[in-house]
Every structure is written in structure tokens, then in C-alpha cells.
Amino acid sequence: MQVSDFLDLKLGKRKSTNPPQRSDTINSGDPEKIGQEFLTLFKELGGLKKDDDVLDVGSGFGRMALPLTGYLSSNSRFEGIEPLARGVKWCSTKITPKFRNFRFQKLDVKNGMYNPNGKILAADYKFPFEDESFDFIILTSVFTHMLPAALENYVSEISRVLKPGGSCFITYFLLNDESTELINQGKSLYSLKYSCENYRIESQENPEYVVAYPEEVILDFYKKNGLKYQPPYYGKWCGRNEYTSFQDILIGRKNGRST
């Protein structure tokens, strides 16, 4: 535990049930406020139901899981997979003992940002779940740190483990005419000055630090994997005046029963 985290606990500035602040990008910002924001978005935009079985890919320190403990019923199933061992340990210690339907496990995939010594390439990773296991799948600030082969594999895996009619709620940095113009005007938080085939990055030294994709590339991945989608909800990351959240949100639904 960082010294600041310890002092915050002692001074009552952070509840013991809230995730710790980190010096890296995991849980940057106010975790409780962000968690509550996304709970509202999951329900209002994604159509999350109380009895849904939920998969959180990149569950971190439970920033999304914690608000869901007060919403999902005891009949639902929540699974979190995360490359950071300390995040899995925190969630398994702080959340699972009180909410037995919430479980967390480590995914040992290689990622330059969070798990550089991982044993499995993300492009080859298979989610440790049966086909059609989940009603709702969450990825917040995951594909913003993944390169194309890994991202395309994850979209395939998401489609595989989604139940027919199930939904995935995923955040991105999407490149389109508006966001590209704002980047060129210097209004974006990220310059994304390095162009690669079908994506742009912030850092050549650490390509997975920030990754942005043309919107049509992502939509094509969805189509190839049987995922319908609604128009994206755009974020403020690139300097927009009107936005829904910080990152762009794309909600996909697996072909199946009507929603």
C-alpha cells in the first residue's frame, strides 16, 4: 500500500471498501464517483438488468465491480479477469467474502502497460469461460491499450461468451472526422501523432500506452463477429464540447433474441 493510501484510510478520506488510488493509470481519478457514473451508463445506455450475468474484462481494483454489488441480485454471476495480480488480490479480499457471486481471477496476458512479463499473447488468449455464458460484458479503458491483433481476438472472444441477445459495453478512442479535426487543432488530450496501419498511438516507446482506432475499423470487427451496434456515445478526450463520458462508448449486441 502506498503511504498516501494508508494516510487516507487513517484520516477517513478513503473507505476501506473503496479501491486505493494508484500512481499508474489504474483507478486514476475518484474511483467511487467514476464507478457510480458507469453504473448509471450501464443501466441507461447498455440496458443492464439486475439478474444479468456479468463479465468485467480488466476488472482492476474493482472500480466497476463495487457499485455493481449494490445493484446486481444474488442470483446473478459476476466474473472479473485482470492482468494485475495485486488488483485481483484486492478484489478477492475486499469484495468476494461479502458477495460470493463476485469472483476474480488473474489473466496472464502480456501487455506493455500492465503485464509486460505475461506468458500469453493477448492475440492468442481464450477467455476461461464456456460459450454463451454472459448477458453483459464490460471493458472500460481496455481497448485503449491494445493493438489490433489482440483487440480483434478479444472481440471474437466477447462474441463467443455472450449469450444470444447479450450486450457488450466497451470504451475506445475512436477516430472519425470530428475527433481527427480536434486532434489536428491541438484540442485533444492526446496528440496520437504516430500513425500505423489502421490505428494511431501516443508513444513509439510504449505503443500500448494510448491507442486510437478509426471508427469504421472497430465497426467492421463487430460485423465480422456477429455483433450489432448502435451509434457510439462520444467522449470528451479529444476536446469535444458535448460528450457522454471521457472515452467513447460503443455498445454491441449479439445476434439472437430481440432486445
Residue type, 244: T
Extended beta strands in 46-126, E state: 54-57, 78-82, 102-106, 109-110, 120-121
Q: Are 32 and 39 in contact (CB under 8 A)?
A: no
In sequence order, which residues have a C-beta less than 8 Å from that of residue 213 and are 6 or more positions away?
A: 143, 148, 151, 172, 173, 174, 175, 198, 199, 200
Closest CA to 168 of 141, 138, 198: 138
Q: Report pLDDT digits (tens) over 179-223.
A: 999 999 999 999 999 999 999 999 999 999 999 999 999 999 999
| End-to-end alpha carbon distance in the chain | 44
Burial class (CB in 10 A: 0-12, 13-18, 19+), 40: exposed
Q: Report pLDDT digits (tens) over 4-43.
A: 444 444 444 545 566 665 534 444 568 889 999 999 999 9
Mean pLDDT, the chain, integer: 90
pLDDT tier for residue 125 given thresholds of 50, 70 and 90? very high
Q: Are 51 and 73 in contact (CB under 8 A)?
A: yes
Closest CA to 24 of 116, 104, 120, 149: 116
* Total-model pTM: 0.89
State the pLDDT at residue 3. 40
State the pLDDT at residue 26. 45
SS3 80: strand
Please determine, for residue 256, whether its predicted confidence score (pLDDT) is greater than 80.
Answer: no
Average pLDDT over residues 47-64: 97
State the pLDDT at residue 15. 57
Average pLDDT over residues 39-65: 97
Q: Report pLDDT digits (tens) over 152-163.
A: 999 999 999 999
Distances from the Cα of 186 to the Cαs of 5, 95, 173, 175, 242, in angstroms?
35, 42, 16, 15, 17
Average pLDDT over residues 54-71: 97
Burial class (CB in 10 A: 0-12, 13-18, 19+), 233: middle
In DSSP terms, which residues pair with 254 in a beta bridge?
227
Please determine, for residue 230, whether its predicted confidence score (pLDDT) is greater than 50.
Answer: yes
Residue type, 1: M
Q: What is the percentage of the chain residues whose pLDDT exceeds 70?
A: 88
